[in-house]
């Protein structure tokens, strides 16, 4: 920092040094006591000057100040988007379900109910069932609920209709975090996209909410062709609505004549099986369920870190994560997709990413 040495004591001494020598400047004197409050206020001003310096640079600023810094280069924070999908209503023939009818998930111990609204009016036909498009009332990834979670009709029709979602909702994304916004800003500054070059397509793809990384393959199918392969914020293949948004946005930005293909990453499912040997003097029996959960979180984070960055899933890294669990003494028969030994490679250059499919944990007998 620039002003860390400009303390109250330093400022007070500088002011005392500037005072006439024929004045009493000892501690407790009138001169000393009158200058002390001013020194305190000046020291606070220098603290704020240091803070302003921090807020003025992209690497050290945050929040709304980072927004201001990024806006100078035309980079804006991606806002949250609402999840969309369909539900099936069942009930008496002829029942009209107006646009704006609300449905929701049940309230759980660790999650409040998530509310959705229908986007268009529908009417139940003779089959007693009708599908309706819905969107979340509030944006965010929390709206991407799983199959069968929407079960409640809110309002006057609650005693008349039943509701269920047969497909997972998709497209909901959270507001972009500072880390991701800073990354896009630095890429814009250091690898400026221009005239439809590779940097431009990377920039356009990552400006779409829900997209974290991208690969650009110029001339993949002859002159004028460009393929853009994208990853979701979860480092997986993006859902169809997000892919459509990327396609539409790039088509609006691309140079005239460019033939652009947008694809999601190709997910390579990873099944990991391991036998664990536990520390003998452990006071409690090992909880295989919690160990499996912990390993699932570790492996998921590891694969997300590798996505589009490193094509090698390293057996040694998987082993280290297992040994990091406090009650584990050793592991045996570690299998990654039935591979007994060695690493596994994915074709990340062509958009393949490893995605955890299952974790099987057993105790070595």
Q: Positive or negative CA dihedral for 296, 299, 302, 303?
A: negative
56 contacts: CB under 8 Å, gap ≥ 6: 65, 69
Q: Is 181 exposed, middle or buried (0-12, 13-18, 19+ CB in 10 A)?
A: buried
3-state helix vs strand vs coil in the chain, percent to 5: 30, 30, 40
Q: In the chain, where are the structural domains located?
A: 8-71, 84-164, 191-264, 269-363
Residue 129 β-bridge partners:
90
Query: What would the two tokens of residue 50 be?
Result: 């240091």
Give the C-alpha distances (Å, rounded to integers) separating 40 from 31, 44, 326: 15, 6, 50
CB 155 within 8 A of CB 114: no
Residue 133 β-bridge partners:
86
Task: Write out the E strands in the chain.
Answer: 84-90, 96-97, 102-105, 115-118, 122-123, 129-136, 150-154, 162-164, 211-218, 225-232, 259-264, 266-278, 312-313, 328-336, 344-345, 352-363
Please identify every stretch of the chain with a pLDDT value under 50, giving residue numbers as ranges: none
Radius of gyration of the chain (CA): 29
Longest dimension (CA), the chain: 104
pLDDT for 1: 61
Give the C-alpha distances (Å, rounded to integers) separating 221 from 11, 218, 226, 281: 69, 8, 8, 62
What is the DSSP code string of 284-317?
A: S---HHHHHHHHHHHHHHHHHHHTTT--EE-HHH
Could you say which of 3.30.300, 2.60.40, 3.30.1380, 1.10.10 is the CATH number of the domain covering 191-264? 3.30.300
pLDDT for 284: 67
**pTM for the model:** 0.77
Residues 122-179 pLDDT 10s: 999 999 999 999 999 999 999 999 999 999 999 999 999 999 999 999 999 999 999 9
CB neighbours (10 Å) of residue 283? 6
Residue in 263, 265, 259, 264 with CA at minimum distance from that of residue 226: 259
pLDDT for 342: 86
Tokens 């094509």 belong to 311
**In the 8-state DSSP scheme, what is residue 141?**
G
Pairing assessment for the beta strands 150-154 and 129-136 based on DSSP bridges: unpaired
pLDDT for 305: 95
**In the 8-state DSSP scheme, what is residue 256?**
T
Coil, helix or strand at residue 169: coil
């Amino acid at each position: 920092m620039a002003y860390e040495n400009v303390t109250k004591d330093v400022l007070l001494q500088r002011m005392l040094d500037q005072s006439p020598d024929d004045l009493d400047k000892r501690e407790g004197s009138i001169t000393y006591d009158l200058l002390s409050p001013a020194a305190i206020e000046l020291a606070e001003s220098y603290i704020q000057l240091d803070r302003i310096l921090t807020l003025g640079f992209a690497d050290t600023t945050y929040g709304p100040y980072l927004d201001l810094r990024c806006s100078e280069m035309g980079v804006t924070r991606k806002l949250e988007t609402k999840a969309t999908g369909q539900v099936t209503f069942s009930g008496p023939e002829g029942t009209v379900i107006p646009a704006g009818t609300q449905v929701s998930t049940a309230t759980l111990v660790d999650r409040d109910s998530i509310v959705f609204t229908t986007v268009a009016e529908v009417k139940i036909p003779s089959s007693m069932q009708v599908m309706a498009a819905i969107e979340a009332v509030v944006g965010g990834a929390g709206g991407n609920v799983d199959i069968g979670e929407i079960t409640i009709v809110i309002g006057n029709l609650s005693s008349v209709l039943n509701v269920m979602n047969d497909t997972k909702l998709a497209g909901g994304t959270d507001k972009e975090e500072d880390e991701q916004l800073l990354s896009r800003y630095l890429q814009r500054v250091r690898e400026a996209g221009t005239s439809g070059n590779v940097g431009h397509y990377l920039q356009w793809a990552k400006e779409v909410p829900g997209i974290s990384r991208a690969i650009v393959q110029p001339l993949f199918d002859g002159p004028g062709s460009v393929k853009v392969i994208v990853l979701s914020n979860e480092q997986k293949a993006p859902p169809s609505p997000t892919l459509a948004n990327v396609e539409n946005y790039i088509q609006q930005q691309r140079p005239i004549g460019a033939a652009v293909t947008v694809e999601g990453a190709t997910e390579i499912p990873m099944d990991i099986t391991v036998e664990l040997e536990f520390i003998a003097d452990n006071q409690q029996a090992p909880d295989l369920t919690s160990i499996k959960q912990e390993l699932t979180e570790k492996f998921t984070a590891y694969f997300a870190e590798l996505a589009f960055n490193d094509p090698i899933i390293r057996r040694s890294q998987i082993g280290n994560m297992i040994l990091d669990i406090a009650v584990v003494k050793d592991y045996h028969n570690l299998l990654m997709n039935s591979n007994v030994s060695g690493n596994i490679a994915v074709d990340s250059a062509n958009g393949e990413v490893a995605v955890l499919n299952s974790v099987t944990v057993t105790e070595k007998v």
